Amino acid sequence: MHEISLVQGLLRQLGELAGEHQCQAISKVRVEIGPLSGIVIDSFQFGFDVLSAEQDLTRDALLEIVTPPIQYKCCYCGHVCLSSEGVPDSCPECSHTLLVPEGGDGLILMQVEMV
C-alpha cells in the first residue's frame, strides 16, 4: 500500500525532528494532503495509527489531516480560481472551459507539537 510508505517517511522525518529538538514525545502532527496527490486519507490515517503506536515517540500523537482546495488556472485568460470539488465547468472570468489544476498534489508536514 502506497500510503504505508508515506507514513513511514513521515515518521522518519518526525524522528529526525525530535532528535534535533531532543524531545521525547510528539503530541500532534498536522499534514496537508493535496486532493490531487492520489493519497487515500483513510489509508494514511490507518497507517499512521498502526505505525505510530509502535514507537514511544509517536504513541500518543494525534494526526490532523488538512486538505487544501485546488487552484485551477484558465488556459485562456490566466484567471485562477479555487475549488475543492473538482474542475469548475468554465472560467468565471471568460467562460472558457479549459482549466488546469495547479498544485494540490503534495504531502506537506505543516506543524509538529512536541511534549
- Cα 63 to Cα 66: distance, rounded to the nearest angstrom: 10
- Measured from the CB atom, the residue of 19 and 78 that comes closer to Zn ion is 78
Residue 99 in the binding site for Zn ion (CB under 5 A): no
- Cα 95 to Cα 18: distance, rounded to the nearest angstrom: 50
Cβ atoms < 10 Å from Cβ of 67: 14
Residue 96 in the binding site for Zn ion (CB under 5 A): yes
Residue 80 in the binding site for Zn ion (CB under 5 A): no
User: Of the listed pieces 5-13, 51-59, 85-93, 103-111, which binds Zn ion according to CB under 5 A?
Assistant: 85-93
- In contact, 47 and 1? CB cutoff 8 Å: yes
Binding mask 13-52 for Zn ion (x = CB under 5 A): ----------------------------------------
Cβ atoms < 10 Å from Cβ of 99: 22
Q: Which residues bind Zn ion (CB under 5 A)?
A: 74, 76-77, 79, 91, 93-94, 96
